[in-house]
Amino acid sequence: MTEDVHSAESSEKSGALNEVVEIVKTVVYALLIALFLRVLFFQPFTIPSASMDPTLLEGDYIIVSKYSYGYSKNSIPFSPPLFKGRILERKPDRGDIIVFKLPRDGHIDYIKRLVGLPGDRIQVKGGVLFINGVAVPRKPLAPVMVDSGYGFTRNVERYEETFPNGKKFITYDFGPDGDVDNTEVFVVPENNYFFMGDNRDNSLDSRVPAEIGVGYVPAENLVGKARIIMLSWNKGASLFKPWTWVLDARPSRFFNTLK
In DSSP terms, which residues pair with 256 in a beta bridge?
A: 229
Residue 105 CA neighbour count, 13 Å, CB half: 8
Q: Which of 51, 75, 203, 232 is catalytic?
A: 51
Rounded Cα gap, residues 3 and 10, in angstroms: 10
d(CA 49, CA 122) in angstroms, rounded, equals 24
**Does the annotation mark 51 as catalytic?**
yes
CA distance 224 to 42: 8
Is the bond preceding residue 54 a cis peptide, omega within 30 degrees?
A: yes
Residues with Cβ within 8 Å of 191's Cβ and at least 6 positions away in sequence, in order, are: 118, 218, 219
Judge whether 68 counts as a catalytic residue: no
How would you list the strands of the sheet with 153-162, edge to edge?
Answer: 138-147, 153-162, 168-173
What would the DSSP string read from start to end of 127-168?
TEEEETTEEPPEEEEEEEEEE-SSSSEEEEEEEEEE-TTS-E
Q: Which of 66, 73, 101, 112 is catalytic?
A: 112
Point out the residues that are catalytic. Answer: 51, 112
